[in-house]
Chain A
Amino acid sequence: MPVTNQALPGGYQLLNYRIDRQISRGGFSIVYRAYDETGTPVAIKEYLPASLVLRTEGDIVNASSAENLTSFRYGMKCFFEEGRALAKINHPNVVRVLNFFRANETVYMVMRYERGRTLQQHIQMRQDQMSERFVRQVFMHLLNGLREVHTHKILHLDIKPANIYLHSDGSPVLLDFGAARQTLTTNRPKLAPMYTPGFAAPEQYRDHDRLGPWTDVYGTGASMFACLAAFAPQAADARVQEDHLVSAKKIWSGQYSDNLLEVIDWCLRLDPLERPQSVFALQRAIRDIPPPKRKLTFFGNLKRVLFSEIGA
């Protein structure tokens, strides 16, 4: 008995798009790389909740039992919500939706294909420590995108390095709004709201009434923490029981500016009210103190002089 949904095969023609391969598989969907009729690559997200096994062969999604159909259609509502939310946003730091259609008894969202890698991959591949300049640059841009998202009265609710894409020039794109508004789910255990331990705020585990911009602020702070630590902070539900999280200020004092470390700690406060209450407030806090000039060691300085001399 198969236990997972079958992905569409490479070469499959989906309307005017040709599927190339599966890129990723999430709780609610499979994402493919595909090409449109002009040969432009696109990312196509297929709504297919993993908790409901609906396609074991072929291409048609079959929500067979009535119970499944209810959950399936309910989740589809959330998928529409994601589409609706993203369709309105045209911002360089937020993934762009190009098309939305129905086929194979399910729905598809076509997005711009982003080249590069995720911040998660970037963190895992790095040997040395990430520079403050890089962290600031990524997150200032990302926050511009997130602010645009909040302006449209949408919460992302799943901000984490794996959902942040980096172009080769380092500019970030916020991906995957699959969790957006899923908090409206009640009495639907099969399609429970999803969150990522370590990056989800404590209110995402229980106090759904308390979700707000500060919830995404927590995810942003946790992502910044992960950039420095190369691992996620302690999960918020465990922190509520017994908080073992050591403050960024304590861990990296001297290696990064106090301003950056204080901002990270501020974002990671357990009480939603104690965090920056908006993206704007967070941006202001980061901007307040400009990053300190790098203290150059003798050899570093020498290297710089040499390189500038030889024009490298």
Chain B
Amino acid sequence: MRFTIFQESLKGGREVNQDRIAYTYSRETLLLVIADGMGGHVGGEIAAQIAVRLFVERFHQEAKPMLRNPLRFMQDTMLRAHAALGAYANQFSMLETPRTTCVAVVVQAGQAYWAHVGDSRFYLLRQGKLIGATKDHSKVQYLVDQGVISSEEAAVHPDRNKIYSCLGGLVEPVVDLSRRTPLKNGDILVLCTDGLWSVYPRSELSTMLTSTPILTVGPRIMREAESRGGPDGDNVSAIVVRWGPETLTDEVSTTTDALKPGEFETEIEDTVTLAERTGTSRDLTEDEIERAIAEIQSTIQKYRK
């Protein structure tokens, strides 16, 4: 395999970075994963960390050197992460189960597969055109699908951050799986959290990533996204891969040819800020209150006979 990869995660205007990103690859298979932990509480960061770590660890167990069934691998890992978060909350008697979104991509034998829960996104771009993408598990996406609001309205809708599926929630997560999609050299794979996509229209992102080497433009996009987010801006995270040999620059792309069977290269971006936190006795935020109520209501519905 040959590709160029860029990944970065920035805190934005927040005190804590609750996004976690990682990539890892064997000689034959590449895994990309992003998780965006939810809520202003300590749990969000833990949730994202657990999900990403679990993906990487399971990949190392299963990709020898290829995954037998990439989609099943992703589906299983999502559900295991969901269960792990519940177990974690129990173990530490946490008031709320830590929750996170998650989007993962596997590339092997020239084919891409992806899976997601929540509103962290994946775009597959070919010559500037979108040929594959995830669909957010969000309230506004649902409204767009139903024709109630337009996608322009969705971008500024007050509920645009509300999602109905996540890992660690009260109900089993909805995991969306892609079809197998053959890649061509020059294809661009983008995974990002809402901190990026909410401030960068897809068309703009697509133009920038297609016309300029990703290692050059990647950091610029990230800084720009952070500044667009402003003083209260969300965490911003992205992984960008240009598939095949780099043609736009002299920069050497990554090749996996040198990896022996059973060997992996791994890059986990985890600026752990847990140490800075003091207990869990923080105030509830407005967001947390709204979410707690929504959760209780959905539980009542679920257990109603």
* Residues in chain A within 8 A of chain B (CB atoms): 69-70, 73-74, 76-77, 80-81, 83-84, 87-90, 97-102, 107, 153, 181, 184, 186-188
Q: A76-B289, A81-B95 are in contact. Are A100 and B283 (CB under 8 A)?
A: no
Chain A: CB-nearest residue to B283 = A73
Closest 7 CB pairs of A and B: A87-B299, A100-B296, A80-B292, A83-B296, A73-B283, A73-B284, A87-B300
Q: Is B28 in the interface zone, CB < 8 Å from A?
A: no
Task: Give Cα A170 to B283, complex, Å.
Answer: 43
B296 and A80 form a contact (CB under 8 A) = yes
Q: Is B93 in the interface zone, CB < 8 Å from A?
A: yes
B300 and A102 form a contact (CB under 8 A) = no
Q: How far is the CB of B179 from chain A (nearest CB, A)?
A: 37
- Interchain residue pairs with CB less than 8 A apart (16): A74-B281, A74-B284, A76-B284, A81-B95, A88-B303, A90-B304, A97-B300, A99-B297, A99-B300, A100-B296, A100-B300, A101-B293, A101-B297, A107-B289, A153-B90, A188-B281
Q: Is B305 in the interface zone, CB < 8 Å from A?
A: yes
Q: Is B263 in the interface zone, CB < 8 Å from A?
A: no
Q: A69-B283, A70-B283, A77-B95 are in contact. Are A98 and B300 (CB under 8 A)?
A: yes
Q: How far is the CB of B91 from chain A (nearest CB, A)?
A: 11
For B, the interface residue count at a CB cutoff of 8 angstroms equals 18
A84 and B283 form a contact (CB under 8 A) = no
Residues of A with C-beta under 8 A to B300: 87, 97-100
B284 and A90 form a contact (CB under 8 A) = no
Task: Give Cα A70 to B283, complex, Å.
Answer: 6
Q: Is B270 in the interface zone, CB < 8 Å from A?
A: no
Residues of B with C-beta under 8 A to A100: 293, 296-297, 300
Residues of B with C-beta under 8 A to A90: 303-305
Residues of A with C-beta under 8 A to B305: 90
- Known pairs A74-B281, A81-B95, A100-B300. 12 more at Cβ < 8 A? A73-B284, A74-B283, A74-B284, A76-B289, A77-B95, A80-B95, A80-B296, A90-B303, A90-B304, A99-B297, A102-B290, A153-B90
Residues of A with C-beta under 8 A to B304: 90
Q: How far is the CB of B39 from chain A (nearest CB, A)?
A: 12
Q: Is B246 in the interface zone, CB < 8 Å from A?
A: no
A184 and B95 form a contact (CB under 8 A) = yes
Residues of B with C-beta under 8 A to A83: 292, 296
Residues of A with C-beta under 8 A to B90: 153
Residues of B with C-beta under 8 A to A153: 90
Q: A80-B296, A184-B93 are in contact. Are A89 and B283 (CB under 8 A)?
A: no
Q: Is B269 in the interface zone, CB < 8 Å from A?
A: no
Q: Is B176 in the interface zone, CB < 8 Å from A?
A: no
Q: How far is the CB of A163 from chain B (nearest CB, A)?
A: 21
Q: How far is the CB of A80 from chain B (nearest CB, A)?
A: 4
A88 and B299 form a contact (CB under 8 A) = yes
Q: Is B295 in the interface zone, CB < 8 Å from A?
A: yes
Q: A73-B283, A153-B90 are in contact. Are A89 and B293 (CB under 8 A)?
A: no
Task: Give Cα A187 to B303, complex, Å.
Answer: 35
Q: How far is the CB of A39 from chain B (nearest CB, A)?
A: 20
Chain A: CB-nearest residue to B90 = A153
Chain A: CB-nearest residue to B292 = A80
Residues of B with C-beta under 8 A to A77: 95, 284
Chain B: CB-nearest residue to A69 = B283
Residues of B with C-beta under 8 A to A76: 284, 289
Task: Give Cα A116 to B258, complex, Å.
Answer: 78
Chain A: CB-nearest residue to B291 = A80
Q: A73-B283, A80-B296, A87-B303 are in contact. Are A102 and B93 (CB under 8 A)?
A: no
Residues of A with C-beta under 8 A to B93: 184
Task: Give Cα A107 to B292, complex, Å.
Answer: 11
Q: A77-B95, A77-B284, A81-B95 are in contact. Are A102 and B289 (CB under 8 A)?
A: yes
Task: Give Cα A101 to B290, complex, Å.
Answer: 9
B293 and A84 form a contact (CB under 8 A) = no
Task: Give Cα A102 to B289, complex, Å.
Answer: 9
Task: Give Cα A1 to B6, complex, Å.
Answer: 64
Task: Give Cα A184 to B92, complex, Å.
Answer: 11
Task: Give Cα A262 to B150, complex, Å.
Answer: 70
Q: How far is the CB of B192 from chain A (nearest CB, A)?
A: 32
Residues of A with C-beta under 8 A to B297: 99-101
Task: Give Cα A186 to B292, complex, Å.
Answer: 22
Residues of A with C-beta under 8 A to B292: 80, 83-84
B303 and A107 form a contact (CB under 8 A) = no
Residues of B with C-beta under 8 A to A187: 281
Among candidates B284, B290, B295, residue contacting A84 with C-beta atoms closer than 8 Å: B295
A107 and B293 form a contact (CB under 8 A) = yes
Chain B: CB-nearest residue to A70 = B283
Chain A: CB-nearest residue to B94 = A184
Task: Give Cα A132 to B303, complex, Å.
Answer: 35
Residues of B with C-beta under 8 A to A101: 293, 297
B293 and A102 form a contact (CB under 8 A) = yes
Residues of B with C-beta under 8 A to A69: 283
Task: Give Cα A97 to B295, complex, Å.
Answer: 13
Task: Give Cα A90 to B283, complex, Å.
Answer: 31
Task: Give Cα A73 to B281, complex, Å.
Answer: 10
Residues of B with C-beta under 8 A to A88: 299, 303
Task: Give Cα A73 to B283, complex, Å.
Answer: 6
Task: Give Cα A186 to B279, complex, Å.
Answer: 11
Chain B: CB-nearest residue to A78 = B95
Task: Give Cα A175 to B217, complex, Å.
Answer: 61
Determine which residue in A69, A76, A80, A89 has the highest number of CB atoms from chain B within 10 A of its CB, and name it: A80
Q: How far is the CB of B240 from chain A (nearest CB, A)?
A: 39
